[in-house]
Structures are given as C-alpha cells and as structure tokens.
Amino acid sequence: MAAGFKTAEPLEYHRSFLKENCRPDGRELSEFRTTTLNIGSISTADGSALVKVGNTTVICGIKAELTNPTVEAPGKGYIVPNVDLPPLCSSRFRPGPPSEQAQAASQFVADVIESSEVIQTEDLCIERGKLCWVLYCDLMCLDYDGNLLDACTIALLAALKNTKLPEVTISTETPEVNLAKTRGLHIHKHPVSASFCVFDDSILIVDPTAEEESLKTAQLTVVTDEEDRLCTVHKPGGTSLSGEKLQECISRATARQREIQKLIDKVTRSVKTAQ
Amino acid sequence: MPRNSGIILSSRCVSGGDIERRTSSHAAVWFITFPCAMPTDNKRVRGPEVSQSPSLFLCEPAGALPSHGPRADGRQRDQVDVRPVFVRCGLVSQAKGSAYIEAGNTKLMCCVYGPRETERKDETDMKCGRLTTDMRFAPFSCPERGSWIQGSQDKDLSLMLHESLQPAVCLHKYPRSQIEVNVMVLENSGSVLAHAVTCASLALADAGIEMYDLVLGCSIRQDGTSYVVDPTYTEENRCSSVSSENQGGLTVAFLPSLNQISGLQSDGEMAEETLTAGVRTCIEGCYKLYPVIQQALAKAVRKAAPPPSES
Amino acid sequence: SRDELVCGSSNVSLREFGCEQSLLSRPDGSASFVQGDTSVLAGVYGPAEVKVSKEIYDRATLEVLIQPKVGLPSVRERSQEQCVRETCEASLLLTLHPRSSLTLVLQVLHDDGSLLSCFLNAACMALMDAGLPMSCLFCGVTCAIDADGQIITDPTAAQEKESRALMTFAIDSKECRVMMSSTKGSFSVHELQQCIAVSQKASEKIFQFYRDSVKRRYSKTL
Amino acid sequence: MQIFPPTPPLPVFPPCLSPGDKLCSVEDCIPGTGVYLRHGYIYSSLAGYVLRKNEGEELPVISVVRETETQLLPDVGAIVTCKVTSINPRFAKVHILYVGSTPLKDRFRGTIRKEDVRATEKDKVETYKSFRPGDIVLAKVISLGDVQSNYLLTTAENELGVVVAHSESGAQMVPISWCEMQCPRTHSKEFRKVARVQPEYLQA
C-alpha cells in the first residue's frame, strides 16, 4: 500500500523519511548522488562532456565559430551558453520554445561564466577588432530527475577543459584555419555548483530529485571556485533562510567543489593517457 | 560541405501494411545555406549576429574520397558491409521506454512517452490511438553548427519516421490516447534516418507498447554503378566523381519477421532496376542488424525482471 | 538627497524613495515605485479565471510579466520574473484563492541601477494595494562591493558598472531573513555575510517607508 | 567509443521474445494477451516471456507477459484511484492517478457526473456534500467519453467513494458513516460520499 501512499500523499511520504534523517532513495540529507563523467564523446564538437548526477543526464557540446568582435570590446571574443530541456528528457516539457525553467537555467549558466571568469574572453580574440572566436556552449538535458543546475555547471566545465581550438592565421584578407595544430583553452577558475532544497521552511537537503524538487518550499544554489570564493548565491525566492543555514550550505558547497575538481582531473588524465 | 546544398529531388514512397507503392514526389527544391544569420530569438542567450564555421576557411581542403576500392573506414564497397552497432535499452529513468544506438560515430537516443491523454481530440482518436514523432538534431551534432530552432529538414525526417513506425504499432489497443516518440541525434555521421527508425522501434518495444513487429532501417548511397551500404556523413554528402546517372541515396524501413516495407525514402535520380536492387540490398542490411537488436531487447527485458516460473 | 544612517563599517545610504498607489484604474491593484532615478510601475490583476492547463487545485497560480523599457523581454527578464514570482508566492497566502489566477505586470519606466530590488518593492506595494492576503511583507535591497571593498547600498547604474560584485536580496518583514538572493561577480563568504547584515538594516528603513506611504494613502480617503 | 558505462553481464535465461516472433499456429493454442493473429498464426506483440496456461479446455491459452502486468490505460469497468481537482453543481473533475494497483506516469482527466455519485436518490445529490477538491476517491470507469468529454466515472457502489480526505484544519479525517467524516483535531463533521473500507485493507 506504500506505493498508494507515495502518489496520493507525496509530502507525507517524504516527511516520514526526513524525520529519520534519510530519504526515499536511501541517501542522507547531505549526500550527493553518484556522479559519472564522460569527456570527448562527440567528435563533431570542438569539446564535449556528458555528466550523470544520479539519473539526471546532461550533455554539453561546444562549437567554435569565427566572427568579428563588437565595437565596444574589440579585444574580446564571445561565449554563448544555452540550456535546452527537450520533450525527450521528461514528460513535463512540451516541444516548442524553451520553457521558463530552461531560460532561467541558461541565464544562470551565463551568470556563472561571467562571475567566475572561468575563461578570459580576451583569450578568444584572434585579431584585435577584426576576428575572434565565439564559443557556442549548447547544454542539453537527456534525462531530467532534478538538480539540473549542478549537472549543467559540471558538464560545461568539463567540456571547456576538453575544447580544442584550431590555429588561425590572417595572412591575406581571409583567415587561414589549420586544423592540424590545435590549442586548448586556458581555464582560470573551476566553478562548481551545489544545489539545496528546503522542506517545510526548515529541513535542508542536498541534490534534490525531481520529486523532492516538486515539494520544495525554497531552493538555493551556491557556486564556489577552488579559492573558496563564492561566484553565485542563487536563491530564486521561496521561504526565508537563516544565516547559519546559509553558512552550512556554503561549507557543503566548498567540499563538493573539491570532489568534483578531483573527478574532472582524474577523467581528463585517463582520457589523455588513452589517446 | 555545408549540410544541405545542391539540388535535392526527394521522392517519398509511403506504404501501409503491405507493399503498395504510392509515390508522392516533391518538385526540385533548391536549398542554399546562408551563413547562419538566425532570426532574433529572444528566448535564448544570443551571440553575435553572424558567425561562420571555421570549416569554410580551411587552408588545405579535405581530400576527395576514392570512388572505388576500399572505403575510408576500411569497409568494402558493393557489399552489405554495415557498421558495428552498440545498442542499449532503458537508459532514461523518466521515459516509459528508451533506447540508445551508436553506429560508428552516429549516436542517437530515443525516448517514448505514453500512452497519455491527447490534447487535441478528433473523431479518429475515439477508435484508435495517435502516434506523434519528433526528431531533432543537437546543435553540435553536425560538422556545421545547426540552430536550436527545428529546421524544415528535421520536420521532414520526423514525418518520414512517423510514416515508417505507424504501420508497426497496434494503435487500436490504445483508444483516446497518444504515444510520443522523441528522437535526438547526438552526433550525425551518416544514415541518421535509418538508425533513428531502428532506435525508435526498440524504444517502443522497451516501453511495452504492443507492436506487430520491430522496424529496422538501412540506407545505401548509389554512385554510378557502385553503392555503399550504411554511408558515413562524408560519403552521403560527397559530390559524385563520375557524373553518370544513378546518383542518389535510399533509406528503407523494414518489418523483418512480417517481411514488409513500411517506409522508403530516396533522393537523387536512379533507374528502376537500380532502385529495386538497392531496396533488396537494404533489406539484406536489415536482416544483418536483426539479431543484435533482438539480443539488446532480450537483455533489457531480463534486467527488468527474471522470467516467471513456467506454470 | 541621501539620508545617511551610519552603522558598522559601511553606511546604509539609500537614495530618495517615492511611491504612489492605485494610480491605474484597470488593474485591481497598482503602484509605482521610484528609487533615485530608477522607477517601475506595477499592476496586479486577480484573483481571476485561470486556464485549465495552468490550474492548481489547492492554490492560486501566480504569473509575473516584466516589460523592459525598450525592446522585447529576453532571457534576463525571464530569470528576474522567476525570482520575483517565487518571492511573491512565498509571501502570498495562495491557498485562500484555489483554482484562480493572479497576474503581476512590472513595467520599467527608467533603469538607473538596483532594478531588481525596485521590482520587488513595487511588487509588494502593488500586492498590498490589491488587498491580497499576505503572510509577510518583503523588500528588495541591492548591495555593490566597489574596487576597494566598500559596500554601497542601492547603487546607481554607474556605481554598479565599476563594482566588483553586485548582490540583490529580498528580506522578509517577520524575521528579517533572506528570501531571495541574486548575485553577480565573485566575493568572499565574509563579504556575503556583511552585505546580508547591511541589507537587513536597510530593510528596516524601507519597511518604515512602506508604513508611511500606506498611512499617507489611507489618511486621504478616511 | 561507448557513451554510457557498460552494465554487468546477465545470467542466461530461456530466450525471451521480441514483437513479431511467430509462436504457433491457431490450431495449437488460444491467443491470450500480448499476442496477435495473422494468417492463421499467432505472433507475439510484446517483448517478454511466453506463458502457457491451460484452464480445463484442451487448447492452452498462450500469452506474452512483461515484468509487471502493466495495465497501461484505464478501460471500461476498471477500478481507478483519482484525486478530485474541482467540483461544480453538475459534476466533479478528477485526475486519475491509479488504474487497479499500477500508478500512471501521466495524468488522465476524468469526470464524475452528479447522477453517478450514488445509487440511491440520484436526484437529491449535492456534489459539494459528496466530494471536495483534494480528496482521494475510488471510482469505476463507465465509459471512455466522447470527443469533448473525458473519462466518465461512477462512485455509485458501496465500496466506491472518498478514501482519504483532509478537513478544513488540514488533518486527515476518519470516516464515521457512509456519508460523514470527522476531523480528529477539531471533531467537526463534514459530508462526503465515503467508500466502505474493504476488509483486506483494514490493517491490524
């Protein structure tokens, strides 16, 4: 009869688990789901990564193209992130223009890139005022089971580390692209995000699943980099949060940043040795 | 080679259950690709107005492909030499049924949702269900970056996928409801429609939707007298070296155990007997693929639950 | 004129505030909120008929639309809409109007910095003016950390441009805690706690301003 | 290059079927579920295991079965569990959550008309005295409905009706008669068309 209880009274069902400090899938309140990473699996992209946080799967493909820089910022290239939630990843998304959640996620990723300065857009400039790179970072969710923002930041960071840009020389008027010689991107910072959900204005849980996300009263996402500086504290409304709980989340986020950075380095090394 | 340039004369053959050829061919349509100046799309983060792909400015152009002798990836020409296929079912937790297929570098994923309530109801829905298909290319899936907005080619492929799957699904068992098939191409390295058909029918079977038979897809590329089975992206878009007739591509959707063709799409210009020979080659290609698909399905069913004790 | 209120290391100086209520005839509640040169007009419609697809059986459906001063709303406006909507949902008692719809429209008249906090203040005044049941009031405070680490509250657009970090908080009136936070730029944990403290102090001044303007509004009609 | 981590190898089981496999001819057995008939032969229409059940007559009933008896669609006569979403004097609108015991991933909409609420004194029924939004109700499907309307349901039997209801104060109410429920906290009584609790659901 438990299955009946779960769909008929989802909030009661989750509360009964949270009373014993555990969750329906057996995790503690501050435990992340297993995170697996797969780098460079798309050969048509200049850089790609696939991340699975529990069931939530996000794939990021980066395509570099040539364009001319803006008049105001002649020495800077562009980086254009976009998150898409296709109808494939969950039955709640309909085909058509991106939903508010997809647009909010795109804006979140754009803010994280800008705030954390993960790469300097000056590195993307080829010829000041004439020619520069534009990195289209396309993030797509293949399986939506909650906590989209964490999976997106990890996928983006791993894909940026995997990106190879061909060398471009401007001898005559038209640029010359030499695919043989490629160079990687210089990654200045490693921003990693940790998302939390608040239940009944008090209980704080980490890495919520889609079900837990639908029952939340507030949601908080903290992005930190390796020098423990905060890049984003994104709490889009909901019930208020005290200072101590906010501090609790920040310390959990810094621990998470260490874990993920180790994971990305390990996988990048294993891919390098494999080539 | 930009994705869709040059003359495409597409003639589509659609058949219901048995082979009955109703050809409806479109007039010659000329697609010219502009540097992708997308309409202002204010629902996404926008980059510069116009940007070109670096492949337009390559200092040494890609070498022309040999038109006889072994193919670039070592497979033989004029033989049913299909790329090895990696298939998995049941990967997406949210979907009723899902399948992932990898043939060479072509990577496709398909999810099935339903049967669920139809938004728009009309008379035919009362008696039998409705099948909707949506096929999309990820922007990073082709050498030339595609846009997020579904192009006309994606819509065309979705329609062909729908025509190939519709005869194989027992829709009369799902009155008043709708079954949604979503295919996402992660990487396009040739014969995308063929593998999409196979992947979609596998996802339907994994979802527990009743079907008359699985649907397998195979495609060939005819170049003069020689043909290549399961062509890669470069072979598909290569302009022919010898300009004789019989230039074109052919994709067949085939029901293996009922021995029927449910969908046939061919473009280019071919003589009658070349076309029928091509169809026969494709059918042979599908039979080669059949055991791998059955084995993948069996593994998914076993993983879901051990067999019930024989009563 | 900036009325100075020196507290702790940073001064909580807010620009000249101005607020006018029920200035529009069509919406059920409306308010215009001016912070320095930044001014926003808010209109509230509802509780009204709801579309079947958006209907929630036990509470009202709140929809927020932000219209920029020029051009069409883009991805940034959608993200701001989400912040304002979820803040209002937390403070409104939506279960008292089940299966109905509330629409909040925010029109930017002029943007000279601290736009998101001006949205929040205008939204709160408009909801009050519409007479909707609310569990608590909320106000928006924006803090900027300039190059040498000083915290400026309610910055102008120029101050925002050369600031190292920018944070906007929604503070609720009951426990004075953070309901919404949207940040830009990188900062340390200590700077974050400092900015929250400054915002909480500034929120008391703003809530006092709310009471004064509502008292002024109803003293005329009584 | 595999894109997903490989799953561990599985023990070998008897071969399972995929759609379109020929099972046997019509003379050998009677088609059950998950199979279809074509040109005198029985073919499997599901991916699953063969199940031969012989009930008395000489020909066994052959069917193909998947892991759980996934009743995918609410069909006529099925007992469904649903949640009331809105009520008005003429009918109550519900979302169907369960068909039998299998939860539905996607919600189907249903309607309980006023005259289908109970069997006795059909015309004196007031819907707001029978259901309230948010109640969990057991009902039976009487028709698939036509183009405009959705599934038509009925609660006109004793064991159909409200199973779980929350009172004004939010506590879960206890049924005290076939048409009344009481809130344990405020002891206030509210009218509902209560389902008589089946003996097997009464835990100790």
Model pLDDT, residue B241: 62
Q: Count residue pairs from A and B with Cβ separation < 8 A.
A: 136
What average pLDDT score do residues C161-181 get? 93
- The Cα-based distances of B301 to B24, B86, B89, D16, D72 in angstroms read 40, 17, 9, 8, 17
Q: Does B76 touch chain A (CB under 8 A)?
A: no
What is residue D74's predicted lDDT score, i.e. its pLDDT? Answer: 81
Average confidence (pLDDT) over D154-170: 86
- What SS3 state is found at B166? helix
User: With an 8 Å Cβ cutoff, are D97 and A91 in contact?
Assistant: no
Indicate if the pLDDT at residue B25 is higher than 50: no
Buried b (16+ CB within 10 A) or exposed e, A69-99: beeeeeebbbbbbbbbbbbbbbbebeeeebb
pLDDT tens-digit map of B211-224: 999 999 999 998 88
Which residue of chain A has the CA closest to B55?
A177
D87 to chain C: nearest residue by CA? C57
Which chains form contacts with chain C, at 3 or more CB pairs under 8 Å? Answer: A, B, D
Query: Sign of dihedral through CA atoms C178, C184, C188, C194?
Result: negative
Residue B11 has pLDDT above 60, yes or no: no
Going A98 to A100 to A103 to A109, the CA torsion angle's sign is negative
D99 pLDDT band (50/70/90 cuts)? confident
Which pair of tokens denotes residue D196?
Answer: 């008589």
Pairs across A and C, CB distance < 8 A: 100
- Give residue limits of the domains in chain C: 6-221
Tell me the β-bridge partners of C21: C31
Those residues whose C-beta lies under 8 Å from the C-beta of residue A188, and which sit 6 or more positions away, are A117, A118, A119, A120
Condensed to tens digits (0 to 9), the pLDDT of residues A123-141 reads: 999 888 888 999 999 999 9
B178 touches chain A (CB under 8 A): no
Assess C52–B contact: CB distance below 8 Å, yes or no: no
Burial class from Cβ neighbours inside 10 Å (0-12, 13-18, 19+) for residue A118 reads: buried
Establish if B138 touches chain A: CB-CB under 8 angstroms.
yes
| D82–chain C nearest CA distance, Å | 13
**Across B133-142, B230-239, B250-259, least confident range:** B230-239
Which pair of tokens denotes residue A152?
A: 């997106």
Architecture of domain C6-221: 2-Layer Sandwich (3.30)
pLDDT of res. D143: 86
Dig out the tokens for A177 from the structure. Answer: 């692209």
Interface of A with C in 71-100 (CB under 8 A): 100
The single residue listed with the structure tokens 């309530």 is B117
Task: Give me the residue label for tokens 């509360």.
Answer: A15
Q: Quick: pLDDT tens for C58-113.
A: 899 999 999 999 989 999 999 999 999 999 999 999 999 988 999 999 999 999 99
Of C72, C73, C75, the CB nearest to B44: C75
Chain C hits for A238, Cβ within 8 Å:
86-87, 89-90, 179-180
Q: Residues in chain A whose beta carbon is closer than 8 A to a beta carbon of chain D?
A: 1, 3-4, 7-9, 36, 38, 41, 50, 91
* The pair of three-digit structure tokens given for residue A190, joined into one six-digit string: 């490693």
| CATH architecture, domain defined by A27-189+257-274 | 2-Layer Sandwich (3.30)
Give the per-residue SS3 of chain D.
Answer: CCCCCCCCCCCCCCCCECCCCEEEECCCCEECCCEEEECCEEEECCCEEEEEECCCCCCCEEEEECCCCCCCCCCCCCEEEEEEEEECCCEEEEEEEEECCEEEEEEEEEEEEHHHCCCCCHHHCCHHHHCCCCCEEEEEEEECCCCCCCEEEECCCCCCEEEECECCCCCECEEEECCEEECCCCCCEEECCECCCCHHHCCC
Q: How far is CA B146 from CA A201, B36, B154, D124, D197, in A?
A: 44, 8, 11, 63, 59
Does residue A194 or residue B303 have the better pLDDT? Answer: A194
Which sign, positive or negative, has the C-alpha torsion A88, A94, A97, A101?
negative
* pLDDT, mean of residues D19-37: 87
Cβ of D164 within 8 Å of Cβ of A91? The answer is no
Residues of chain D whose beta carbon is less than 8 angstroms from a beta carbon of chain A are 1, 3-5, 81, 83, 97-98, 101, 103, 105-106, 136, 164, 201
Sorted by where each begins, the domain ranges of chain D are: 22-65, 79-158
- Given an 8 Å threshold on Cβ–Cβ distance, is A138 in contact with B140? yes
List domains and CATH numbers for chain B: 75-303 (3.30.230.70)
Closest CA to B140 of A60, A183, A148, A95: A60
The SS3 assignment for B115 reads strand
Write out pLDDT tens, residues D62-98.
Answer: 888 887 656 567 888 888 999 998 888 888 999 988 8
β-strand pairing of B10-14 with B260-269: antiparallel
Test A7 with D103 for CB contact under 8 angstroms: yes
Are C73 and B42 a contacting pair at CB < 8 A?
yes
pLDDT digit string (tens) for A233-259?
999 988 999 889 999 999 999 999 999
Q: Determine how many CB atoms are found less than 10 A away from the CB of residue D81.
A: 22
**Single pTM value for the model:** 0.89
Q: If you measure CA to CA, which chain A residue comes closest to D136?
A: A8
State residue B120's pLDDT score.
67
> D150 vs D11, D98, D132, D143, CA distance in Å?
46, 16, 20, 9
Among the partner-chain residues B143, B145, B184, the one whose CB lies closest to the CB of A88 is: B184
Would you tell me which CATH number, out of the four given (1.10.3720.10, 2.40.50.140, 3.20.20.70, 2.60.120.10), belongs to the domain D79-158?
2.40.50.140
CB pairs under 8 A between B and C: 9
Cβ–Cβ < 8 Å for C178, C84: no
CB nearest to D16's CB, from B123, B213, B298: B298
Query: ipTM of the predicted structure?
Result: 0.87
Helix, coil or strand: residue B203: helix
Phi, psi of B239 (to 5 degrees): -80, 145
Using alpha carbons, select from A202, A251, A151 the residue that is nearest to residue A21.
Answer: A202
Selected residue of B42, B116, B148 to mutate for chain C interface (largest C Cβ count, 10 A): B42
What is the CATH topology of the domain spanning D22-65? OB fold (Dihydrolipoamide Acetyltransferase, E2P) (2.40.50)
Of B131, B132, B202, B122, give the one whose Cα is nearest residue B173.
Answer: B131
d(CA C57, CA C98): 6
Shortest Cα–Cα distance, D202 to chain A (Å): 11
C47 preceded by cis ω (within 30°)? Answer: yes
Q: Which of C49, C54, C57, C61 to mutate to test the interface with D (most CBs of D within 10 A)?
A: C57
Is the bond preceding residue D103 a cis peptide, omega within 30 degrees?
Answer: no
Higher-pLDDT residue of D165 and B238 is: D165
pLDDT band at B6 (very low <50, low <70, confident <90, very high): very low
Which residues from C are below 8 Å from D133, CB to CB? Answer: 57-58, 98-99
Q: Give CA–CA dist D121/D156, Å, rounded.
A: 11
Using pLDDT thresholds of 50, 70 and 90, give the confidence band for residue B10.
very low
The answer on pLDDT for C3 being more than 60 is no
Question: Cβ–Cβ of B45/C72 closer than 8 Å?
Answer: no
State residue B71's pLDDT score: 80
Average pLDDT score over residue span B222-246: 80
Choose between B19 and B279: higher pLDDT. Answer: B279
D139 CA: distance to closest CA in chain B (Å): 19
Residues B231-257 have a mean pLDDT of 83
- For residue range A15-52, list pLDDT tens digits in order: 888 888 889 888 999 999 999 999 999 999 999 999 99
- Residue B254 makes CB contacts below 8 A (sequence gap 6+) with B215, B216, B217, B218, B260, B261, B262, B282, B283, B286
Q: Three-state SS across chain C?
A: CCECCEECCEECCECCEEEEECCCCCCCEEEEEEECCEEEEEEEEEEECCCHHHCCCCCCEEEEEEECCCCCCCHHHHHHHHHHHHHHHHHECHHHCCCCEEEEEEEEEECCCCHHHHHHHHHHHHHHHCCCCECCCEEEEEEEECCCCCEEECCCHHHHHCCCEEEEEEEECCCCCEEEEEEECCECHHHHHHHHHHHHHHHHHHHHHHHHHHHHHHHHHC
What residues of D are in contact with residue A3 (Cβ under 8 Å)?
101, 103
Confidence label for C171 from pLDDT (cuts 50, 70 and 90): very high
Nearest by CB: A59 against B59, B182, B186: B186
Q: Which one, of C129, B170, A121, lies nearest residue D35 by Cα?
A: B170
Q: Does residue B229 carry a pLDDT above 70?
A: yes
- Asked if the C-beta of B121 comes within 8 angstroms of chain C's C-beta atoms, the answer is no
CA A236 to chain centre: 17
Give the pLDDT confidence of A138-172 residue by residue, as tens digits. Answer: 999 999 999 999 999 999 999 999 999 998 888 77
Q: Examine the pLDDT at D3 and tell me if it is beyond 60.
A: no
**Cα D85 from Cα C203, distance rounded (Å):** 40
Q: Residue A93 pLDDT > 70, yes or no? A: yes
Q: Which pLDDT value is given to residue A200?
A: 80
Q: Which residue of D has its CA nearest to C99?
A: D86
Q: Indicate whether B152 pLDDT > 90.
A: no
Q: For residues B158 and B153, give the distance between their C-alpha atoms in angstroms, rounded to a whole number.
A: 9
